């Protein structure tokens, strides 16, 4: 699931080997899925790029924070012009 989400975002593991907070992963379960997310993406609780919400579901949400901020900046800049 992690690899599919990363493919959808256009991000590869080699690009995020030392991930900061560019990619945000939100897991909604406390099982082995969370371990796979950490291994596949580099997102961890320790680097604040993994958020754990105990909703009891096998669910995962990814967001490319930097890409979203750049798009928002461009949209606002375009509105001013």
Give the structural domain span for 27: 2-80
Q: Is the pLDDT of residue 19 over 60?
A: no
Q: How confident is the model at residue 42 (pLDDT cuts 50, 70, 90)?
A: confident
Higher pLDDT, 6 or 13: 6
Residue 6, token pair as written in the block: 């990363």
54 CB-near residues (< 8 Å, 6+ apart): 28, 29, 30
Q: What is the pLDDT of residue 52?
A: 92
- Work out the percent of the chain whose per-residue pLDDT is above 70: 86
Q: Where are the alpha helices (H) located in 1-81, listed in sequence order?
A: 2-9, 32-41, 65-80
**For residue 16, is pLDDT > 70?**
no
3-state secondary structure string across 26-44: EECCCCHHHHHHHHHHCCC
Q: What is the CATH number of the domain that holds 39?
A: 3.30.1330.20
pTM above 0.75, yes or no: no
The residue written with tokens 């604040």 in the block is 48
Number of domains in the chain: 1
């Amino acid at each position: 699931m992690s690899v599919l989400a990363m493919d959808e975002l256009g991000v590869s593991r080699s690009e995020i080997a030392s991930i900061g907070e560019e990619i945000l992963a939100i897991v909604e379960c406390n099982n082995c899925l969370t371990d796979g997310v950490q291994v596949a993406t580099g997102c961890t609780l320790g680097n604040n790029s993994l958020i754990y919400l105990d909703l009891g579901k096998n669910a995962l949400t990814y967001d490319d924070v930097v890409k979203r901020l750049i798009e928002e900046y461009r949209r606002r800049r375009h509105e001013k012009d």
